[in-house]
Amino acid sequence: MTVEDYQAGQVLLIDKPLNWTSFQAVNKLRWEIRQAFTIKKIKVGHAGTLDPLATGLLIICTGKMTKQIDTFQGQIKEYTGTIILGSTTPSFDLETEINEIFETSHITEDLIHDTTKQFIGEINQFPPIFSALKKDGKRLYEYARAGEEVEIKSRKITINSFEITKIDSNLVDFKVICSKGTYIRSLANDFGKALNSGGHLSALRRTKIGDFHVDNALSLDDFIKKLPKKD
């Protein structure tokens, strides 16, 4: 592709690596495109944040295609991941240490499968306090890291499908198809509560956004290798 292609607008499918923020991935690609074509600036943005501890599909738009970001963000998303039952963390994932341990001896495979039914359809969900949502000009995670309490309002989201794909003791693998704005970390936490226990997310991968699939995405390294090299 030429610099004109990127400026006219491209939709790039990137498989975001673990421990990268979506913002870092966008910045890296913007810098690499600028270096490859020796240009001072180019518009680059992503359509839907992935947490640093999540991997998978990130839609990145360049040039005039950045105007389509809202359209992509509104599309149905698919995730796979693992929930650990019997314990919770403040961030609902592995970003923070376990803060409570719960009994799990009452949990059966049938109960796990039956409990997913409570989450199908339109539900109210509270976003995690460790999230990038803003309240009064500050990110929620800034309040959380400062130890400040803040009121978080629930939001209506839709879970189209919640499938358990494997159960190995307290490790529960799943696949979820859901609407924009769904926090899978919150789903893991709420799922643990619904089982009269606790739960937190130990792995998460976004596999689809609308008709876009992670199988068609490039790693950051592979994308960079395809850019023209300076002589």
Fold of 77-209: Pseudouridine synthase (3.30.2350)
Instruction: Give the residue numbers marked as catalytic.
Output: 51
Per DSSP, the residues of 155-204 read EEEEEEEEEEEEEETTEEEEEEEE-TT--HHHHHHHHHHHTTS-EEEEEE
Provide the pLDDT for residue 136.
67
**Regarding the domain delimited by 3-74+211-226, which CATH topology (the fold level of the hierarchy) does it fall under?**
Pseudouridine synthase (3.30.2350)
Give the up-direction half-sphere exposure of residue 74: CA atoms within 13 A in the CB hemisphere: 4
Looking at beta carbons, which pairs linking 32-40 to residues 24 or more positions away fall under 8 Å? 32/223, 32/224, 32/227, 33/6, 33/62, 33/227, 35/230, 36/227, 36/228, 36/229, 36/230, 37/2, 37/3, 37/6, 37/228, 38/230, 39/3
pLDDT of residue 183: 94
Per residue in 162-216, pLDDT (tens digit) is 999 999 999 999 999 999 999 999 999 999 999 999 999 999 999 999 999 999 9
Stretch(es) of the chain classified as CATH 3.30.2350.10: 3-74+211-226, 77-209
Which ranges of the chain have pLDDT less than 70? 130-136, 139-141, 143-144, 146, 148, 230-231
